[in-house]
Structure 1
């Protein structure tokens, strides 16, 4: 069985992830039972999922989530789910125009900003103020919503340093336990301080998870009241951060550091769809002098596989696993991509 299909990584999943996988697997099993009638089996479930994938009913991200949920649940009970990982389990090429119409915008952009502002008018003033601060701070720093719970801002020096615990650092997804961002302008510092103040108060009153859930659901409800089908979420701020950073010429290596990724390919593949630049880039990498060099794998998005042994890399001065020369010295509080 392929390493991706192995349950050897199960012990590295935290309890929350395991519970999410189990809940998703139960939901899929209920859907399968509703259409299977009396002919129900695990292999029937696997075949049903594959058929729906081949019919184009599951997008790539959805398919990965469903496949991971089933594979995290059933093999431990002695069932074989290896067919879910066959290379031919893929839908036919979609109609490009239809795909363009259905593709959900993940960033913010001009239209998303207008939708967000309209949603804020459908909230109570206090809730709107808190959510605005969350969105503005996220656009300028690129933090995942969950990472704000433990983020710390140190304003004792210049520039102020925001220390973030990387949320996804298992299985090589992150470059280490921490990343440190130098906040370059007063506006960014203001929004980060406002949001962190609200987060600290929420933790004392009812916990961060409760605050995050209320904010997320409150924003979604405001969109519904405004008659907006798809508006930017709190996570959209992280996607917009990637777009603004790339527009400012930040190198792939520095962008991976800023977003907490273990590979320069992650932001290219999964972030910043359907948005336009909305803000000047206002943060840059910052590491304490005694911090270890982050382990970030360098990938050219045009080349999915490393060069063969003895073959020179296509891009001079860079190779998988090495930091590109354009990022050298980029941890001194300046935007490393300036001038590129």
Structure 2
């Protein structure tokens, strides 16, 4: 069965991940080239690694390899090659998540969902000490402060801009994950009427910084380099600990703050650009992790677009508590 159409960037990411999977399999099994391995051998090797892979990562690996095999099958005219690729795809489809790890043991397991103000202030102070000594110290500092204010996904900054709507300052954002109904429309609007002067300066500095780097490198390259730098810098700043903040941690903290502020589930979903009111509650930090009110708001028309899926807990009548 052919999977739903994907945006070019997702296909590109899948292709990169599939090549990494092939290369590792070839290296560990002694093949001269990752492309000399039979597709089913690559699948078998990946399945053999499943016990060391978190379930979410396993799903990504399966999707990436499946997409890669589908592309190869569509490109070749050799019937034998097509049959081998289809057999590999069938083997992937037949392999469940059972046996993968509930939580990762490597990079993903060290990512913390929140980014408390004390940690953020400490890290910003650390970056201040690196100004003029590291190329990306001020860039990362600028990014963090803007992300803390808006809750954007890191990738969403590539297509974000300030404007005025009905005399109100707003940030227009092209929603990430906008394929297959996963986002609340192609874009979202963040009302900045309650933003402070320093907030607006932080946003303008962020957008100006991104525009300046367009002449030097792609947005994807800049994000990649900042992610690498933050990985090293957080460990230097915070020392030994189990989890460290990432660029995405600011979005989690923002979501927790939005919930704590008193916004409804639909309003939080609209602010985050999510299609349903369930995602923020299931995959993002909870309200108890919130620590300050947010100063951005959704627009009514986007709140109305959010699909209601979250279930509200209703206490059972007395005498039925033990029935399930």
Both structures adopt the same fold (TM-score exceeding 0.5): yes
Question: Aligned match of 2:181 in 160, 168, 172?
Answer: 172
Instruction: Indicate how the Cα distance of structure 1 residues 112 and 28 shifts in structure 2: closer, same or farther if over 3 A, else same.
Output: farther
1:74-131 superposed Cα distances (whole Å, 9 cap, x missing partner)? 1342323234344743237869xx99xx563132125642662354145225843432
Question: Aligned match of 2:124 in 117, 121, 138?
Answer: 117
Deviation at 1:34?
3.3
- 1:185 aligned residue: 195
1:8-50 superposed Cα distances (whole Å, 9 cap, x missing partner)? x24x331x32222122112112222334458964333323323
Q: Does 2:308 correspond to 1:298?
A: yes
Deviation at 1:69?
0.7
What do you get for the CA RMSD once the two structures are aligned? Answer: 3.6
- 1:49 aligned residue: 46
Q: Does 2:155 correspond to 1:162?
A: no
TM (norm. structure 2) is: 0.74
1:133-180 superposed Cα distances (whole Å, 9 cap, x missing partner)? 321221121112222233221257554111111122111111111211
Deviation at 1:240?
1.2
* Higher helix content, 1 or 2: 2
* Alpha carbons 2:255, 2:280 under 8 Å: kept: yes
* Alpha carbons 2:142, 2:202 under 8 Å: kept: yes
Instruction: Indicate how the Cα distance of structure 1 residues 160 and 122 shifts in structure 2: closer, same or farther if over 3 A, else same.
Output: same
Which runs of 5 or more structure 2 residues have no equivalent in the other structure? Answer: 74-81, 316-324
Matches within 5 A, 1:1-340: 1=1, 6-7=2-3, 9-10=4-5, 12-14=6-8, 16-37=9-30, 41-53=38-50, 55=51, 57-76=52-71, 77=73, 78=82, 79=85, 80=87, 81-86=89-94, 88-91=96-99, 102=109, 104-110=111-117, 112-113=119-120, 116-117=123-124, 119-121=126-128, 123-125=130-132, 127-155=136-164, 158-183=167-192, 184-186=194-196, 187-204=198-215, 206-226=217-237, 228=239, 231-272=244-285, 276-286=289-299, 295-300=305-310
TM (norm. structure 1) is: 0.71
* Alpha carbons 1:164, 1:178 under 8 Å: kept: yes
SS in 1 for 2:214: helix
Instruction: Indicate how the Cα distance of structure 1 residues 292 and 31 shifts in structure 2: closer, same or farther if over 3 A, else same.
Output: closer
Distance 1:61 1:118 in 2: 34
Q: Between Structure 1 and Structure 2, how many residues are aligned?
A: 290
SS in 1 for 2:297: strand
Distance 1:260 1:40 in 2: 41
Distance 2:288 2:18 in 1: 33
